[in-house]
Amino acid sequence: MFDTQSSSTARRRPLGRLALSLTVSAAVAAAPLAFAPAAFAAEDGDGGNYLRIATSADIDTLNPFTAVLGSSTGILTLAYERLVEWGAADNAPVPGAASEWKTSDDGLTWDFTFPEGRKWSDGEPLTANDAEWTLNAIQTDPDLQQASGGLVANMKSIEATSDTNLRIVLKEPQPQNPGNSMMVLPEHIWKDIKDPAEYRNAEDSVGSGPFTIAKWDEGQSVELKANPNFWRGAPKIDGIRFVYYKNADAQVQALKSGEVDIVSGLLPAQYESLKGVEGITVNAGAGRRYTSVAINPGAKDATGAPLGDGNPALQDPTLRRAIFMAIDNKTLLEKVLQGLGTLGQTEVPPVYPNYFGIDEDKVIPFDIDGANALLDEAGYVMGPDGIRLDKQGAPLNLRLMGRSSNPQHAQISEYMVSWLKEIGIGLNVAMYSDNQVNDDSTLGKYDLYFTGWGIGPDPDFQLSINRCSSYPNADGSGNLSENNWCDPKFDALFDKQHGELDPAKRADYVKQAFATIYDASVNNVIWYADSLEAYRSDRFTGFVTQPADGGVISGQNGYWGYYSTTPVADTSQLADAGAPTGLYIGIGAAVVVLGGLAVFLIARRRAATSDDRA
Amino acid sequence: MTVALQPGEAIQGAPEEETSRGASWPRYLALKGGGAAVSLVMVVVVGFFAFRVLPGDPAISMTRGRQVSADQVEILRKQFGLDQPLIVQFWNYLVGLLHGDLGTSYTYNRPVVDLIGTYIGPTLLLTGTAALVSIVLGLSLGQRAAWRRGTAFDRTQTSVALIFWSVPTFWLGLLLLLVFGGWLHWFPTGGMSTPGLGATGLAYVWDVVRHLVLPVTAMVAVVYAQYLLVMRASLLEEMSADYLTTARAKGLREDDVRRKHAVPNALLPTITLIFLTIGGLIGGAVTVETVFSWPGLGYLTFQALTSPDLPLLQGTFVVFSSIVIITNLAADLVYRVIDPRLKAS
What's the pLDDT tens digit per position in A187-218? Answer: 999 999 999 988 999 999 999 999 999 999 88
Question: What DSSP element (H or E) covers A298?
Answer: none
Identify whether B308 is preceded by a cis peptide bond (ω within 30 of 0): yes
A379: left (phi over 0), alpha (psi -120 to 50) or beta: left
Same domain, A526 and A544: no
Q: Do B109 and A33 touch (CB under 8 A)?
A: no
Q: Point out which residues pair with A292 in neighbouring strands.
A: A451, A525
Same domain, A211 and A300: no
- Pick the last residue of a domain from A477, A504, A531: A531
**Of the candidates B57, B110, B190, which has its C-beta nearest A254's C-beta?**
B190
Residue A176 lies in domain? 50-261+539-566
3-state helix, strand, coil in chain A (%, to 5): 35, 20, 45
Surface-to-core class of residue A79, CB atoms within 10 Å of its CB (0-12 exposed, 13-18 middle, 19+ buried): buried
Q: Which domains does chain B have, with CATH numbers?
A: 25-105 (no CATH), 110-342 (1.10.3720.10)
Q: Do B187 and A33 touch (CB under 8 A)?
A: yes
Q: Point out which residues pair with A430 in neighbouring strands.
A: A401
Tell which residue, A528, A481, A527, A522, has the closest CA to residue A324: A522
Task: Give the integer Cα–Cα distance in Å for A183 and A78.
Answer: 11
Same domain, A561 and A527: no
Q: Does residue A273 belong to any structural domain of this protein?
A: no
Tell which residue, A282, A285, A264, A262, has the closest CA to residue A274: A282
Q: Is A435 on the interface with B (CB under 8 A)?
A: yes
Residue pair B210/B246 in contact (Cβ under 8 Å)? The answer is no
Q: Does residue A442 belong to any structural domain of this protein?
A: yes
Same domain, A69 and A110: yes
Distance from CA of B300 to the nearest CA of A (A): 9
Tell which residue, A398, A404, A408, A432, has the closest CA to residue A324: A398
Mean pLDDT of B15-33: 67
Same domain, A293 and A330: yes
Mean pLDDT of A474-479: 84
pLDDT for the residue A10: 36
pLDDT digits (tens, 9 = 90+) for A344-356: 999 999 999 899 9
Task: Give the integer Cα–Cα distance in Å for A375 and A378.
Answer: 5
With contacts defined as CB-CB under 8 Å, which chain B residues touch A153? 69, 71-72
Q: Do B136 and A19 touch (CB under 8 A)?
A: yes
**Of the candidates A19, A247, A577, which has its C-beta nearest B140's C-beta?**
A19
What 3-state class would DSSP assign to A611? coil
Same domain, A445 and A512: yes
DSSP state, residue A36:
-
Strands (E), A64-173: 84-86, 93-95, 100-103, 109-113, 155-162, 165-170
* Secondary structure string (H, E, C) spanning B132-145: HHHHHHHHHHHHHH
Q: Is B190 on the interface with A (CB under 8 A)?
A: yes
pLDDT digits (tens, 9 = 90+) for A124-156: 999 999 999 999 999 999 888 888 888 898 999
With contacts defined as CB-CB under 8 Å, which chain B residues touch A45? 196-199
A-contacting residues in B 191-230 (Cβ below 8 Å): 191-199, 206, 209-210, 213
Residue B276 above 80 pLDDT? no
Q: Does residue A505 belong to any structural domain of this protein?
A: yes
Confidence band, pLDDT 50/70/90 cuts, at residue A418: very high
Q: Which of B123, B186, B307 to mutate to test the interface with A (most CBs of A within 10 A)?
A: B186
Confidence band, pLDDT 50/70/90 cuts, at residue A320: very high
Entry pTM? 0.81
**Of the candidates B55, B57, B189, which has its C-beta nearest A250's C-beta?**
B189
Task: Give the integer Cα–Cα distance in Å for B136 and A258.
Answer: 35
Q: Is A44 on the interface with B (CB under 8 A)?
A: yes
Whichever domain contains A167, its CATH number is: 3.40.190.10
- Pick the last residue of a domain from A504, A531, A558: A531
In sequence order, which ranges of A303-433 are alpha helices (DSSP H)? 317-325, 329-335, 368-378, 407-422
- Residue with the bigger pLDDT between A75 and A38: it is A75
**Of the candidates A34, A256, A577, which has its C-beta nearest B186's C-beta?**
A34
Q: In terms of DSSP bridges, do strands A397-403 and A448-451 run parallel, antiparallel, or are they unpaired?
A: parallel
Same domain, A126 and A213: yes
Number of H helices, E strands in chain B: 16, 0
HSE-CB for A148 with a 13 A CA cutoff: 27
**Of the candidates A198, A253, A456, which has its C-beta nearest B181's C-beta?**
A253
Task: Give the integer Cα–Cα distance in Å for B295 and B118.
Answer: 9
**Of the candidates B57, B143, B196, which has its C-beta nearest A241's C-beta?**
B196
Question: What DSSP element (H or E) covers A172?
Answer: none
Mean pLDDT of B264-286: 78
**Of the candidates B109, B189, B303, which has its C-beta nearest A66's C-beta?**
B109
Task: Report helix angle B310-338 to B2-21, nearest 10.
Answer: 60
Q: Does residue A605 belong to any structural domain of this protein?
A: no
pLDDT digits (tens, 9 = 90+) for B326-338: 888 888 888 777 7
Residue pair B229/B242 in contact (Cβ under 8 Å)? The answer is no
Same domain, A546 and A440: no
Q: Do A439 and B79 touch (CB under 8 A)?
A: no
In sequence order, which ranges of A216-297 are alpha helices (DSSP H)? 248-257, 268-274
What's the total number of domains in chain A? 2
Q: Does residue A10 belong to any structural domain of this protein?
A: no
Same domain, A462 and A552: no
Q: Is A475 on the interface with B (CB under 8 A)?
A: no
Residue B79 above 90 pLDDT? no
Chains A & B: contacts with CB separation below 8 Å: 229
pLDDT for the residue B272: 77
With contacts defined as CB-CB under 8 Å, which chain B residues touch A584? 186
Largest CA distance in chain A: 107
Q: What angle do CA A182, A266, A281 make, to 5 degrees?
A: 95
B-contacting residues in A 146-185 (Cβ below 8 Å): 146, 149-151, 153
Same domain, A526 and A545: no
Same domain, A455 and A504: yes
Same domain, A331 and A469: yes
Whichever domain contains A300, its CATH number is: 3.10.105.10
With contacts defined as CB-CB under 8 Å, which chain B residues touch A198? 109-110
Task: Give the integer Cα–Cα distance in Å for B145 and B227.
Answer: 12
Q: Does residue A587 belong to any structural domain of this protein?
A: no
Residue pair A536/A279 in contact (Cβ under 8 Å)? The answer is yes
Q: Is B249 on the interface with A (CB under 8 A)?
A: no
